[in-house]
């Protein structure tokens, strides 16, 4: 297994935000929103690390009665998110704010559902983030933390980059390669989740590059 190689915690330059916003994650994002539906997400929903706002918009469509709060550490990402909110017919159900996933400004049990897409690999030590996600989730709430899974060898990294970013720019290909190398393995995520009070959460392998930590909402 290749060693984890960290990348910057926040993609907070205009160039990085523009580049990420332009990448086509539509299929993966749609699958994420569908999984939230399947887990019974509802009510007040927190998206931690919402980036340029693609997933909060999809959640508004997938969960018609939900109110979505998206948070991110990167101001340039949030500018993209706010622009999308302003154009959205769901603007009144969307709210974005800047904060750190490792220290959320919300009370315990503030949200009926909590989700996060591909920020684990940006955080050197994801345990504070996992503890915060559990803290702000109401008992019995739905949880979905999806991220990339680190491949077992550099040859596999190259295969995945060619398959999923082969038509992208060199910068987009390098971004994806670095993200794969910065990701956790399912075994590492399992150990961290258990340590952070999420022993009941299930780990699923979702694709050739994605894994999830999830809890279905209880009745």
What do you get for the CA distance between the two ends of the chain, in Å? 40
Q: What is the spatial distance between Cα 47 and Cα 59, in angstroms, rounded to a whole number?
A: 9
When pLDDT is averaged across residues 158-172 and rounded to a whole number, the result is 93
Burial-class residue 207 by CB neighbours within 10 Å (0-12, 13-18, 19+).
middle
How confident is the model at residue 168, as a pLDDT? 87
Please check whether residue 173 lies inside any domain of the structure: no
pLDDT value, residue 24: 79
pLDDT above 80 for 12: no
- Please, is 172 exposed, middle or buried when counting C-beta atoms within 10 Å of its C-beta (0-12, 13-18, 19+)? middle
- CA triple 142-7-45, angle to 5 deg: 20
In this structure, is residue 105 part of a structural domain?
Answer: yes
111-117, strands of its sheet edge to edge:
94-98, 67-72, 44-48, 111-117, 137-148, 210-215, 202-205
Looking at residue 25, its pLDDT comes to: 82
Domain membership flag for residue 1:
no
Query: CA 14 to CA 104: how far, in whole Å?
Result: 24
Rounded CA gap, 208 and 28, in Å?
12
Burial class of 135 by CB neighbour count within 10 A (0 to 12, 13 to 18, 19+): middle
Is residue 20 scored above 80 in pLDDT?
no
**Average pLDDT for the chain:** 94
Residue 70 has pLDDT above 70, yes or no: yes
- Does the residue 4 lie in any domain? no
In a domain, 117, yes or no: yes
Q: What is residue 112's three-state secondary structure?
A: strand
Q: Which residues contact 150 (CB under 8 A, 6 or more apart)?
A: 1, 2, 4, 121, 180, 181, 182, 183, 184, 185
Lowest-pLDDT range of 11-15, 163-167, 181-185: 11-15
46-64: pLDDT as tens digits: 999 999 999 999 999 999 9
> In this model, does residue 219 exceed pLDDT 70?
no
Check pLDDT > 90 for residue 114. Answer: yes
Chain segment 188-218, per-residue pLDDT in tens: 999 999 999 999 999 999 999 999 999 999 9
- Work out how many domains the chain is built from and give that number: 1
Cα dihedral sign for 43, 81, 102, 144? positive
Q: What is the pLDDT of residue 176?
A: 92
Q: Structure pTM?
A: 0.94
Domain that holds residue 39: 14-149+184-215
- Would the pLDDT of 73 be above 70? yes
pLDDT band at 127 (very low <50, low <70, confident <90, very high): very high
Cα separation, 26 vs 21, whole angstroms: 11
- CATH assignment of the domain containing 205: 3.40.50.150
Instruction: Give residue 207's Cα distance to chain centre.
Output: 15
């Amino acid at each position: 297994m290749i060693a984890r190689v960290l990348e910057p915690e926040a993609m907070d330059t205009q160039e990085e935000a523009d580049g990420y916003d332009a990448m086509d994650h539509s299929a993966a994002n749609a699958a994420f929103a569908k999984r939230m539906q399947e887990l019974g997400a509802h009510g007040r929903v927190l998206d931690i690390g919402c980036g340029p706002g693609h997933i909060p918009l999809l959640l508004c469509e997938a969960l018609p009665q939900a109110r979505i709060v998206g948070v991110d550490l990167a101001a340039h990402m949030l500018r993209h998110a706010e622009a999308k909110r302003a154009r959205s017919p769901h603007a009144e159900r969307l709210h974005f704010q800047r904060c750190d996933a490792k220290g959320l400004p919300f009370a315990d049990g503030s949200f009926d559902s909590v989700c996060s897409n591909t920020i684990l690999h940006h955080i050197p030590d994801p345990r504070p983030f996992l503890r915060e996600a559990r803290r702000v989730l109401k008992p019995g709430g739905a949880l979905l933390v999806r991220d990339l899974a680190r491949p077992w060898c550099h040859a596999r990294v190259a295969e995945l980059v060619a398959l999923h970013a082969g038509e992208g720019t060199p910068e987009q290909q390098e971004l994806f390669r670095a993200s794969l190398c910065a990701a956790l393995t399912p075994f590492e995520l399992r150990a961290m989740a258990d340590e952070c009070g999420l022993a009941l959460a299930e780990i699923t392998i979702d694709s050739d590059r994605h894994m999830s930590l999830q809890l279905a909402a209880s009745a």
